[in-house]
Chains A and B, each alone.
Chain A
Amino acid sequence: MEHGSFTDNSVATFSLTDEDHTIANAVRFTLNQDPRVTFCGYSIPHPSEARVNIRVETTGDPARKVLKDACQYLMLMCRHVRCTFDKAVEDFKASNAVKAMKIDSQDSSGDDSEESE
């Protein structure tokens, strides 16, 4: 739901239902990083009601488009985080498997390290 004016579409307030700080703070962060944005913020009108108002003011571009771009950027960031995390976990598991094999082959005693998968 967008509350804006018909004449000026560079400022608008977007009201999202069933949302809370989880997505609002993340979107506000990506909006702030966008150089086209002059003002952005979010508020929760009442804590018992799951509704978030996100206010966007831009330097001329339509606010709707800027918000969409911010969400796209957040999605791309999430994808990148996921790929990097998966790769890091795989590398860790592989390096631990190598370490476990080395320990077994050397038959070292007094193994005090925690065994991790």
Chain B
Amino acid sequence: MAEGAGEEKKKFSIWDLPDVPMGQLPPHLELQRSRVSCNKDAPIHTESIQYSGAYASMGIDNSSRLDRFSNNFRVEVVRLNEDDIEFDMIGIDAAIANSFRRILIAELPTMAIEKVLIANNTSIIQDEVLAHRLGLVPIRVDPRLFDYLSENDQPNEKNTIVFKLHVQCKRGSPRITVKSDALKWLPNGSELVKETRNATSDSSSKPEIYTYFGCSQETVPEFVKNPIIPKYPDIIIAKLGPGQEIELEAHAVKGIGKTHAKWSPVATAWYRMLPEVVLLEDIEDDLAEELKSKCPVNVFDIEDLGKGRRRATVARPRACTLCRECIRGDDWEKRVALRRVKDHFIFTIESTGALPPEVLFTEAVKILEDKCERVITELS
């Protein structure tokens, strides 16, 4: 009798329910997995569901596969200038995007002035302040053509760039401003001579110099086409009154942003997730006008339905800054939903001028690959 009843009972399977599509998550779980809901008080569902077995009980495979990643991943360039780039990366996770951002800011090498040999400084700018300012001047040169200079190495043409600054304000002439175009590149190396304290040294011994250039840097064809100069010629370095003089030599070496921010190749690099603005119910007439006027960046638009009725639509969700003005006030949270798409990143990279921004991003990805390779070789 129990068996008879058991056989008559229909076998119930969740896949028989009409609203659960096969092999996919139900809509509310898909929303939780792929969108950050930005509520009035705080965003929710911000973590990315990475665990491969997260949806195992639903029969969904959340694990990674290179073919799935390759098919879903897209890059769309929105804007590309000489100095900045804005592009979209779709289908990647926040962990990887953040790694790229961190590498762009801190681990891409550039050339910047490190040692300043001051022969004469009678200006009111102190030596160390002047040296600090010189270090922050961006130099227009490809850092990939140079090597790192470590403590044991001698400075030579492969790892040092030498600049000279000699400005004088004559008595009787008005005050002058020293700008960065006063820095002259010395392709043959340093011209200053080291002081020797040895009074008994004979005059036949060679004076010691600061850099040992084997050959002139001008012989490199890249530098013949693009001589090494600061990227922006109008950066104010110092101001001189009458009778004041600055004479110095600056040596630039290769470094990364982690050591000092002057070696960071980007003005900054940042990303944001694509905002998604959804109208949960139809908003008409007066409410629509109110909604349109609330938004400071004009995300909403009014469309005419005919017969004098108007409806609000979302015209430019990408411009949304998530100021949450549209959900402030009573009842607006029920009508407008603000979300962010978790795997769509809008990257913006502003370069200081050493390398073009698209090259910067490619180099950053290469550096992440090198790090992985280092870990792999250490493991094997």
Contact = CB atoms under 8 A, between A and B. Distances in A.
B50 A29 contact: yes
Contacts of B372: 23, 27, 71-72, 74-75, 78
A46 B106 CA distance: 19
A19 B74 contact: no
A85 B95 contact: no
Contacts of A82: 362, 365-366
B365 A26 contact: no
Contact of A33 (B63, B74, B102, B369): B63
A101 interface: no
B361 interface: yes
Contacts of B378: 16
Contact of A116 (B79, B98, B361, B369): B79
A23 B69 contact: no
Residue from A30, A37, A67, A89 whose CB has the most chain B CB atoms within 10 Å? A89
Nearest to A37: B52
B376 A72 contact: yes
A28 B375 contact: no
B171 interface: no
Given A64-B379, A68-B376, A82-B362, A26 B66 contact: no
A82 B363 CA distance: 9
A85 B376 contact: no
Interface size of A as a range: 35 or more
B368 A117 contact: no
B63 A34 contact: yes
Residue from B51, B61, B75 whose CB has the most chain A CB atoms within 10 Å? B75
Contact of A78 (B77, B358, B368): B368
Nearest to A18: B374
A32 B52 contact: yes
5 contacts: A21-B98, A22-B99, A22-B107, A81-B92, A85-B87
Given A71-B376, A85-B75, A85-B365, 4 more contacts: A27-B375, A67-B379, A77-B66, A85-B361
Interface of A: 2, 14, 16, 19, 21-23, 25-30, 32-35, 37, 64, 67-68, 71-82, 84-89, 91-93, 96, 114, 116-117
Interface of B: 50-53, 61-64, 66, 69-70, 73-77, 79-82, 87, 89, 92-93, 95-96, 98-99, 102-103, 106-107, 358, 361-362, 365-366, 368-369, 371-373, 375-376, 378-380
The 6 closest A-B pairs by CB, nearest first: A33-B64, A29-B95, A32-B50, A92-B77, A88-B75, A26-B99
